[in-house]
Amino acid sequence: RAKEQGRNHYQLYTHVIGMSVFEHAFMENSLRKALHHAEFRLFYQPQVELNSGQIIGMEALVRWQHPELGLLEPGKFIPQAEEYGLIVPLGEWVLRQACSQNKAWQDMGLLPIGMSVNFSVRQFQSPDFVETIAQVLEETGLDPKYLELEITESVVMKDEATAIALLQKLYKMGIQISIDDFGMGYSSFSHLKQFPVRKIKIDISFIRDINISSDDAAITTAIIAMAHSLKLKAIAEGVETMEQLNFLQSLKCDAIQGYLFSKPLPADEVTKMLVEKRALR
Ligand code: C2E
Ligand code: MG
Ligand code: MG
Ligand code: MG
């Protein structure tokens, strides 16, 4: 019975379009309550440098520990949070949590690593965007150079002049910026050089069949070559097999992120992983 009900509720989260007024109100209310009741959790996925084999950073990925539906992945609630404007307070919570976790790892004596945080267009457009980031960095005591903002091409393309000005401001604060899901948007590659971006994350959709699709292999090869000629780092998302890893290594891809090394994990498990890796040094 509970399971059946769970499945019905689940439906509400999967169809934004076609939801009734009641369902919209229900969803908005549940998200608000979830923020209020601290039901969100951050998981962390390591980013590994291919040259050194070292963990160079973590990506913070939000989950919703729903009291009835269990652990929900961001695809089930981020689009809704964006639609209802709740992505701004949720994003601020994510940022604060991620920064303070990274600071905690450093305070434990672990070698500092980067902390990548995803940002939606809606957050980027919020008037307090830069101020909020500055405030969170100050509060948590994290050195800005360890914070990396992951934005998609859509952020950059909407209003280019404003976007560049904003990115420059962040860059001057010492924050790193990377382009997420690269290759999925419509950006003209030539514009890239105007952005103070450090890293390009090659979208998982190109990596998935990299060993069997000559098109995907060609696109990935081109993205890495372009990144390097612009003096940017390239990181591959969603690396699951040794075959993918070997191919990316042959292309001189700088880093990988994916299940091959680790799935996104809760903070305590990541802490254990970091402590073990550090002991190996
Ligand atoms: P993303 O930023 O591109 O994150 C990478 C996604 O790929 C994550 O999904 C991650 O779990 C998944 N992934 C990593 N390695 C592998 C792999 O080897 N194989 C496969 N199949 N998948 C892999 P996740 O955690 O479900 O997040 C989905 C998206 O939700 C993220 O894509 C990001 O766009 C968004 N998101 C997550 N957390 C936040 C957040 O705090 N704020 C905002 N605005 N968006 C977020
Ligand atoms: Mg990301
Ligand atoms: Mg991505
Ligand atoms: Mg994505």
Identify the H or E element spanning 119: none
ipTM summary value: 0.98
Distance 201 CA to ligand 2 centre (A): 8
Whether the predicted pLDDT of 6 surpasses 50: no
d(CA 124, CA 199): 18
Whether the predicted pLDDT of 194 surpasses 90: no
- pLDDT bracket for residue 1 (50, 70, 90): very low
pLDDT of residue 190: 63
Determine the atom of ligand 1 nearest the C-alpha atom of 203: 3
Give the residue, 69 or 173, on which the prediction is more confident: 173
For atom 11 of ligand 1, the residue with the nearest CA is 264
Answer whether 188's CB lies under 8 Å from 160's CB: no
C-alpha pair distances (Å), 49 with each of 46, 105, 125, 236, 252 = 10, 19, 32, 10, 11
Residue 161 gets the label, from left (phi > 0), alpha (psi -120 to 50) or beta, of alpha
Question: Considering every ligand atom, which ligand is closest to the CA of 45?
Answer: 1
- pLDDT bracket for residue 5 (50, 70, 90): very low
Average pLDDT in the 267-271 region?
A: 97
d(CA 56, CA 45): 11
Answer whether 55's CB lies under 8 Å from 113's CB: yes
Q: Give the 3-state secondary structure percentages of the chain, helix then strand then coil, rounded to 5.
A: 50, 20, 30
- 3-state class (DSSP) for residue 175: coil
Question: Considering every ligand atom, which ligand is closest to the CA of 60?
Answer: 1
Distance 237 CA to ligand 2 centre (A): 9
Which of 124-128, 231-235, 247-251 is the least confident region? 124-128
Ligand 1 pocket, Cβ-based, cut-off 6 angstroms: 45, 61-62, 73-75, 78, 87, 91, 94, 118-120, 150, 180-181, 204, 237-240, 257-259, 264
d(CA 279, CA 204): 31
Burial bucket for residue 40 (CB in 10 Å: 0-12, 13-18, 19+): buried
Burial bucket for residue 47 (CB in 10 Å: 0-12, 13-18, 19+): buried
